[in-house]
Structure 1
Amino acid sequence: MTPTQERGATYAQVFASREFRVLFGSFALLVSGDQVKMLALSALVYARTGSPGLSAAAYMLGFLPYIAGGTFLLSLADRVRPRALMITGELVRVATCLLLAFAGLPVWAMLVLVLATGLFSPVFGATRSALLPGLLPGDAFVLARSVLSMTAAGSQIGGLAVGGGILAVTGPAGALAVTAALSTVAALVLRAGLPDLPARGAGEGGAVRETLRVNRALLRDGKVRGLLLAQWLPVSFVTGAEAMLVPYLGGTAGVALAAASLGMAIGNLVVGRFAPPAVRERLALPLAVLAGVPLLGFALRPGLVGAALIAVLAMMGSGGYQLGLQRRFVAAVPEQVRGQAFGLASAGMMTGQAAGAALVGLVAELTAPHSAIAVTGAVTIACSLALHRSLRPEPLHRSPRPEPS
């Protein structure tokens, strides 16, 4: 069935799947726990050192291992049984949080522990993503991805507030214990609710060699490479602009950052719920461009309300365009390396967002925060147009008419 013939799925159909409800529940626990963990770690480091810089570095530390883990370990997502691998990920988080809370580690050892255990985060995330197309084929898979994206965006809005409340009541050690408890519950949910499916591929040689080999093969494939770049670049620049809201708005930046997360959720909901599959794929290019257009408004130096509105519109485009690429990406990658392909997409996105924030910060150093955000809007538009072949679905070819006899 072609995308034009395929009927759009509904969120009710997605949540009718027991296995998806299990994945959704464990993911909600994961993202909530991660917000609490990173806040608690940041507070713990600050309490030990009194250094704001080290405290901020500790908060961002969970994102850095995606570069190394995505480069060297992703083949594990296809070589290990998915339920066992996901449960292992939760138990690793439990052990990490308890060690951070109660082992009395020096600060350097705490940071090393977070970095070392974080190397496997892209593997655990890739395993979850790769399960979805098999559990929910077709358009239901795309809506399932949108649900997880909305959950992640919601955790950014509510997670910091809830995490701050837990931190205030229990202190850093208690907050880390709460995170360990959430991961324990997630492990039990996965064990009870997911079938023990076999691994997708056996692999050749060691995990590192296999990861490098498959990454090279995926990047050599023109269609896969284009879809990866389309998932990485526009959103990386938009996120880089988001990172400039704090220096631009100062103490009121939290309002605009919450608005950005809200825009991401709205984009996923509207495009996922109301656009049929074929329309959703055709919208990928204009929505990617739309993500950059509002950012140009920062050239006028808007106030808080204007900045928040721009953030909503930009992130609506950023969240919505990604949905139009998901079905095509699944179709483009071989099933036996699907986990690694999703992991590579996620690792590249995380790396790109960090690089995007750094580049926008450099432009801001040379100009000003509002100018850097406006420049980022122009770059987002330019790279979206440059990737038009990957962002736009291939035209359907009609069968030739039979010759008259």
Structure 2
Amino acid sequence: MLSVSPIFVSTAGLSGKSRQSLESFFSQYKDLNFALVSEHELADVTFIDPENFTRPERIKSFIKQLSERTIVFFSKNTVTLDNLNILHIQKPVQREALKTTLLNIQRKWFNQKRAASNTDSTPTTTHQDELSTLKKPSFISTKQKDLDSMQTEDIETIRYFPEQMFQGKVKQAIEISKNHNALVKLSHGDHQLYFIPATREVYLNLSETLLRGLCVGEWPFNLHIEENHELTSQIVQRLNAKNEYHKTKMEALLWKIALWTSKGKLSNTQALTQPVYLSKLPLFVPQQELPQTAIIASELARHPLNLLELSDQLHIPQKFIFAFFSAAEAIGVVSLTQVQGKATLTSLKPLSSKISSHSKKDLPTSSKRTISQANYLKKQVND
């Protein structure tokens, strides 16, 4: 038997009181299977009161965005726009007329779902998560040089401000979702990210290319909190049914976005002199995301070091260390201790060799120890 989820309905031009009346109407009839949502892109049906639009061209522009959508007009006169199939309910709305229209929509919608279920006998392939891997750490800026002095102007060259960028908006959305225990939507144009608190997952319809593009600029974003907790599971079901959406874990997404945003720069310059403590190993991070991730993580978990000491001790270029710290700080697995580190830049020189040129035998003894300790640390630190 075909399991039928509610038919989602959005509205435009209707007052809050009218929406409440619709919601009450849906609940009064057991043979109606409709639910109101505030997001047009999740809706199957959109109810529009054209008389509340100030200009006719605005209605046309709005309807063009609702492709392949059932549209119902509440108006005194029948409205036709560019031969679009628009249903019409005469105002003032009569209960029987509304119910008849809804039952017809529901019957057509159910038949379409049943036909699709009968014809699609092959299992559907899941949308692969484009954010799961990167072939190479191309997010690191080739122009980023190691810091060779503690002058303010030099420190500013290796610093970035995540709160002013896409990374900051994503982190804010995660925090709101957690604190409000509510579905949160982050949108940019036609692209959305839905943050689901119960599963700590994010549904998004952005390609990896677009996502990386958003990480390197300052853009206008809109945060919207969906407070209707009863519909969260149904919205998730709808997102799962949409091929253009894929999902990933919140922390994994934020880690990756922080790496791409940092480009080898540092989110907190206090870590240059204050020892950094790693409280949890980010075991979910693919190794190809950042070279020597396991070595950096296990060394910091073993004992706190400031980032300059860490770079010097492991013979790893600072920009890789900075990128790791920026991502780890974003997901909340590092903190700064109060004791000042002893290292300065007097013994450091810019490292011209790339991290990929190091093999295990080329690393200092302390680095070799961290490799052998990685498996032990995985048992000691919960992921």
Whether TM-score is above 0.5 comes out as: no
Higher helix share goes to which structure? 1
Scaled by the length of structure 2, the TM-score of the pair is 0.27
Higher normalized strand content (fraction of residues): 2
Q: Highest Rg: 1 or 2?
A: 2
